[in-house]
Amino acid sequence: MNKRLYVSDLHLESVDSPQFRGLVWLLESHPEHDLYLLGDIVELWIGDDDDAPLAQALRQVLRARRSPVYLLHGNRDFLYGDKFCSETGATLLADPHRLDDGTLLSHGDGLCTDDTAYQQFRAMVRSPAWQQDILAKSIEERRAFGQALRQQSRQTNANKAANIMDVNATAVADLMQQHEARQLVHGHTHRPGVHADERRYVLGAWERCGWFIEQDGDALALHCFSLAPHCGNETPHPNG
Ligand code: MN
């Protein structure tokens, strides 16, 4: 089995950011790993026809990868489609997705079942009809819509852990049982950690540091590294 690298919640907004440079560093330092992008890689994906610098740079970074790249939708980048996949070589996986060793992958937002308002919103934006409507708009209209959402997101601190509900323990247990999962890897909650009792591994949001989970056989470890300038040293997380 190839070693695996799981990341999520980079919330990339520009190429010229510590987060984007952190991603490049992470991928270059783990060239052989199968890469699993578990959602919210960018702050907003407005469609596969996006030709903005960030979208182009992301395509380029993934296309340059020689080992396999897998992709799950997040709640901010749920519009990746066939075009993005064929241009990057990435394979889009359904959420949740069970790997053959019993590792279950999810972005994690679907497990936050206590947040009923969010679940209604999620059902709407994931519906094919709503997505068709959005994608039928011009790229300029979608960009303007995206800018407005980003503005709103900044004002409400929508990416802060305090404003995102945690996963529901019963929803986690049910999902894992349903898929006969050995372990669950997810992001979204911005509450990185290893919950050994549940065999649940949670990725963190890339704010002051970048987070990733490395799987080598049966061993999974959560790591973080500083995103501060001139500091590319990997520091294992205490929970790792
Ligand atoms: Mn999310």
Running along the chain, 240 residues long, what does each successive block of 10 average in pLDDT? 97 96 97 98 95 97 98 95 98 98 97 93 93 95 88 81 89 98 97 96 96 97 87 45
Q: What is the pLDDT of residue 229?
A: 66
What's the rounded Cα separation, in Å, for the pair 216 and 33? 9
Q: How many domains does the chain have?
A: 1
Q: What is the pLDDT of residue 237?
A: 42
Helix (H) or strand (E) holding 210: strand 209-216
Q: Is residue 92 part of a domain?
A: yes
Q: How many helices (H) and strands (E) does the chain have?
A: 7, 12
Hey, what's the torsion of the CAs at 59, 93, 106, 163, to 10 degrees?
50
Q: Is residue 240 part of a domain?
A: no
How many Cα atoms within 13 Å fall on the side-chain side of residue 13? Answer: 12
pTM of the predicted model as reported, rounded to 2 decimal places: 0.92
Q: Is residue 96 part of a domain?
A: yes
Give the domain range for residue 10.
4-235
Give yes or no for a contact between 212 and 5, defined as CB atoms under 8 angstroms apart.
yes
Q: What is the pLDDT of residue 152?
A: 84
Give yes or no for a contact between 127 and 135, defined as CB atoms under 8 angstroms apart.
no
Helix (H) or strand (E) holding 151: helix 139-155
Instruction: Quote the ligand 1 centre to 192 CA distance (angstroms).
Output: 13
Q: Is residue 77 part of a domain?
A: yes
Instruction: Quote the ligand 1 centre to 189 CA distance (angstroms).
Output: 7
Strands (DSSP E) contained in 17-65 are 34-37
In sign, the C-alpha dihedral spanning 6, 35, 122, 204 is: positive
In sign, the C-alpha dihedral spanning 36, 42, 44, 49 is: negative
42 DSSP β-pair partners? 12
Q: What is the pLDDT of residue 41?
A: 98
Instruction: Quote the ligand 1 centre to 159 CA distance (angstroms).
Output: 8
Q: Is residue 185 part of a domain?
A: yes
Instruction: Quote the ligand 1 centre to 43 CA distance (angstroms).
Output: 9
Angle at 64 between CA 58 and CA 69, to 5 degrees: 75
Task: Give residues whose Cβ lies within 5 Å of ion ligand 1.
Answer: 40, 74-75, 188
* Domain harbouring 113, CATH code: 3.60.21.10
What's the rounded Cα separation, in Å, for the pair 17 and 14? 6
Q: Is residue 208 part of a domain?
A: yes
Instruction: Quote the ligand 1 centre to 9 CA distance (angstroms).
Output: 6
Instruction: Quote the ligand 1 centre to 77 CA distance (angstroms).
Output: 9
Instruction: Quote the ligand 1 centre to 238 CA distance (angstroms).
Output: 23
Q: Which of 225, 235, 213 is nearest to 4 (CA)?
A: 213
